């Protein structure tokens, strides 16, 4: 065997050892348990969210408040109120939105720094169908209405309404 062939074989041996060593290192590292991941800590609900939940969770309904915070202040809030059909005296209508809005206390305008956009969604499940009525409005509009600076007609003129029905299997 010539000297150049011996050098090539020695070079291949080093490359083989490097590849086998790298694979062994990968296998050893993958069999070690990964460090535990810290669970996210949920922040307690704000006083405003608790107040809203208290005002809206009555008469056979349940409420959920979702404040999407951006840089420490709520940029958008979604309030969901769910009724069961047997808790209502009549079939569901968009009037339920006004029923829920009437539950809000005027003091809420002072207690809460309402976000720029607020969505109120009211759902009624009646067995085979879920009716959902939604209204989206600016927080300042709702604040003005709660303070009595706007009447119902002005509030209605500054809001976006949606209605949907979902048939259940």
Helices (H) and strands (E) in the chain, counts: 6, 5
Q: Which of 62, 67, 61, 63 has its CA nearest to residue 44?
A: 67
Starting at the edge strand that comes first in sequence, how are the strands of the sheet with 160-167 ordered?
A: 61-70, 73-84, 117-125, 129-138, 160-167
DSSP-derived letter for residue 105 is -
Q: Give the pLDDT of residue 54.
A: 81
pLDDT top residue among 169 and 139: 139
pTM (predicted TM-score): 0.63
The 10s digit of each residue's pLDDT in 150-161 is 998 998 899 888
Task: Examine the pLDDT at 21 and tell me if it is beyond 80.
Answer: yes
Task: Examine the pLDDT at 39 and tell me if it is beyond 70.
Answer: no
Q: Give the pLDDT of residue 60.
A: 67
Is residue 39 packed enough to be buried (19+ CB in 10 Å), middle (13-18) or exposed (0-12)? exposed
Q: Token pair of 25, please?
A: 């290192």
Range of lowest pLDDT (27-36, 82-91, 120-129) = 82-91
Confidence band for 128, pLDDT divided at 50, 70 and 90: confident
């Amino acid at each position: 065997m010539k000297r150049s062939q011996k050098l090539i074989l020695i070079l291949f041996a080093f490359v083989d050892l490097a590849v086998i060593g790298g694979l062994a290192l990968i296998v050893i590292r993958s069999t070690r348990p990964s460090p535990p991941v810290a669970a996210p800590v949920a922040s307690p609900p704000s006083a405003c969210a608790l107040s809203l939940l208290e005002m809206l969770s009555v008469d056979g309904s349940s409420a959920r408040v979702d404040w999407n915070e951006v840089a420490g202040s709520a940029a958008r809030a979604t309030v969901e109120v769910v009724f069961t059909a047997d808790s209502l005296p009549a079939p569901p209508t968009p009037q339920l939105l006004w029923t829920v809005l009437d539950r809000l206390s005027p003091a809420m305008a002072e207690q809460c720094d309402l976000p720029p956009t607020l969505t109120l969604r009211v759902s009624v499940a009646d067995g085979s169908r879920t009716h959902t009525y939604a209204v989206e409005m600016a927080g300042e509009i709702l604040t003005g209405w709660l303070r009595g600076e706007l009447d119902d007609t002005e509030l209605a003129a500054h809001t976006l309404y949606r209605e949907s029905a979902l048939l259940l299997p």
